[in-house]
Amino acid sequence: MVTRREAIAGLGASFGALGVLSMLPGAGAAQDPPYQLGEWTGDSFAPMHAIRDGLSRTPLPSPERRVEIAVIGGGLAGLAVAVMLQDRDLIVLERESEPGGVAKSKRWRNVDYALGSAYVVDIKEPFGEFYEKLGLTPRPVSAPVDRVLTGVEAEGDPRDGIWRSAYDDLKALLRRLGARPDFPKLPISEAPEPALALDRLSLLDFLRGEHIDAELFGLLDAYCLSAFGAPANEISAYAGVNFLSEINAPIYAFPGGNATIARAMAARISRDGEGRIVTGAAVYAIEPAEGGYARVGWFDALHPDAPRCLEARWVVVAAPYFFAGRILRGVDPAETAKMTSLRQGSYLVANCCFEGPPPELRYDSWALGAQNFSDVVDATAAPPAADRVTDHSVLTVYAPFRDPRAGRALLLGGDRAVLAAPIVDELRRFLPEAFAKSRLVEVRLTRWGHHHLIAAPGMVETMRALPKRSGNVLLAHSDGQGMPAVESAILEALSAAEIVRKG
């Protein structure tokens, strides 16, 4: 049995390098791992790098087509805009081979697992109504929803023992804040003034000021790295409190995660006309217009040497801000500089496929002190109990990089064996029950190079100050709310759709 002090000491030293140091090439990678390695999924870097390296300055050819609305990016935000305006003449241009952005899923045998975005928190209005219109009923993941892993054998969840009162204090604080009218809410356009004061503090400093036990800070770091791509001392207390309030409420997950929402939207959009979602279409330039037609330069991701162009009465840019800033032309350079200088996290997700009876796990398990991942979602725990498989399972391991730039270099290097090995080794130590009666047969890696806007202190004010419109070009990416969440994507879509409707 570890003492409280020993457990804490372990945490202090941990998460220092989350994935980077132990993943450097040659750092103990298995040359011939005892499991298969699936092909990469996630971001394809080539089209974005082609744009960065010169295409963004290429002149636009003559437009070959005119539409009323062109949506750039088919992630949750872009798809939501298109659903909200589905009675209009519109097209969605999506760089990747399928829509969904970070909300995609795959299947191993009959288990659907997420490649990124996994669960939703808020089903009140306007979100619940939106899901209902899509024919979706979010299902709460059964309680207890999560568990904290220490990596120490036979050690239970520290919140059941050594951290009970500290964790209860945190929950009580968040409950009190949640009941106040000045809770740091979404949309940020409605942020009450006292809540904006939170945005000037880091989450860590705020919780210290509220006398939350420092011994919980390792847990908060794991949570913040997973949810925001940076530890609690680098995250705005506005964003942190908003997200953390979920520990007092149920969370909702579809099998395969939030890809279910993306698929329902894509089906709805295509129902009113095939070809409205064009995949493999990378946009390299957007020229706004006042009152006329904006021009959109794009290329088939496989043929960057053959640029194409269309014009649209409205263009809705649902691509991440740091990238939108690079492709928007004729816009105040000071504004685009603010967008391109935003910090983005990088992320590796490892879906581990096991043969054998699934272990009895919570939906999400937080790994305290792990060097190579922050948490593990049991994909098998998302469907209702009666539909769960009994002889195989998939664990989705979230491995955000603490140093986003170093993480991107590793992802670009693309050595799957080197990247998978330390995650699997550590998973064995933190979740031995997953391996007790089952065999790991395959690891499937997903890379996200520039995902998770890092919600640094001041982010809410920065986003409130950035204009969302330039002529007939609107911005509608979840970045606009300063917090990476499904709810942010839907809110941004609602506001862009309203502007278009008002004309």
Residues interacting with ligand FAD, by CB under 6 A? 72-78, 93-96, 101-103, 116-120, 258, 282-283, 318-320, 323, 327, 347, 349, 448, 451-452, 477-478, 484-486, 488-489
CA gap 218, 10 in Å, rounded: 9
Cis peptide before 358 (omega within 30 of 0): no
User: Among candidates 434, 451, 377, 493, which has minimal Cα distance to 133?
Assistant: 493
DSSP H helix total and E strand total for the chain:
17, 20
396 has which bridge partners? Answer: 351, 377
CA gap 159, 328 in Å, rounded: 48
* In the complex, least distance from residue 355 CB atom to ligand FAD, rounded to whole angstroms: 25
User: Among candidates 448, 125, 98, which has minimal Cα distance to 265?
Assistant: 98
355 has which bridge partners? Answer: 392, 439
Tell me the H-state helices in 272-379: 321-327, 333-340
Neighbours of 469 (CB within 10 A): 11
* In the complex, least distance from residue 444 CB atom to ligand FAD, rounded to whole angstroms: 14
CA gap 494, 331 in Å, rounded: 23
CA gap 33, 36 in Å, rounded: 7
Going through 11-150 in order, the beta strands assigned E by DSSP cover: 36-37, 41-42, 66-72, 90-94, 105-108, 111-114, 119-120, 146-149
* In the complex, least distance from residue 253 CB atom to ligand FAD, rounded to whole angstroms: 8
DSSP state of 476: -
Q: Which residues contact 164 (CB under 8 A, 6 or more apart)?
A: none
SS3 426: helix
Whether the CB-CB separation of 181 and 192 falls below 8 Å is answered with: yes
- Separation in Å, CA 283 to CA 26, 244, 309: 37, 35, 9
For ligand FAD, the closer of residues 163 and 321 by Cβ is 321
**Which single residue is written with the structure tokens 């493999």?**
280
For ligand FAD, the closer of residues 166 and 454 by Cβ is 454
400 has which bridge partners? Answer: 347
* In the complex, least distance from residue 489 CB atom to ligand FAD, rounded to whole angstroms: 4
- Separation in Å, CA 388 to CA 111, 114, 140, 359: 9, 16, 15, 12
